[in-house]
């Protein structure tokens, strides 16, 4: 997965983590952006509330949509 993501922009650091809880490592880690779908964009607000409690900067969201004309969703699986 990491090789796939860095193929497009090698200079961007990509962190891939196993999620043991809804917010995962984003609630207290050193992150800038959370990539979400239209259906999961409310998670950014939830995670940012947790980050405020840890005195961390808020995350920006980057919403990914459908792929081309097929209306297929981009999925983490």
The string of pLDDT tens digits covering residues 22-34 is: 788 888 888 888 8
Instruction: Tell me if 49 is assigned to some domain.
Output: yes
Is 64 a residue whose pLDDT tops 90?
Answer: no
Q: Compute the residue count for the chain.
A: 77
Instruction: Tell me if 54 is assigned to some domain.
Output: yes
> Number of folded domains in the chain?
1
Tens-place pLDDT, residues 7-59: 877 887 777 777 777 788 888 888 888 888 888 888 899 999 999 999 999 99
pLDDT at 21: 79
pLDDT at 73: 60
**C-alpha closest to that of 17 among 9, 26, 4:** 26
Instruction: Tell me if 27 is assigned to some domain.
Output: yes
Is 75 a residue whose pLDDT tops 80?
Answer: no
44 close to 36: Cβ distance less than 8 angstroms: yes
- Owning domain of residue 23: 18-73
Task: Decide: helix, strand or coil at residue 3.
Answer: helix
Instruction: Tell me if 12 is assigned to some domain.
Output: no
What secondary structure letter does DSSP report for 58?
A: P
- Two tokens, residue 24: 């995962």
54: CATH: 3.40.50.620
- For the chain, the 3-state helix, strand and coil shares in percent, each to the nearest 5, are 40, 20, 45
Instruction: Tell me if 45 is assigned to some domain.
Output: yes
């Amino acid at each position: 997965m990491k090789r796939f993501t860095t193929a497009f922009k090698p200079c961007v650091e990509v962190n891939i983590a196993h999620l043991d809880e809804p917010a995962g490592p984003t609630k207290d880690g050193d992150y800038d952006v959370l990539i979400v779908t239209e259906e999961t964009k409310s998670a950014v607000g939830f995670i940012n509330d947790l980050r405020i409690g840890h005195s961390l900067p808020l995350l920006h969201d980057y919403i990914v949509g459908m792929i081309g004309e097929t209306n297929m969703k981009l999925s983490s699986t």
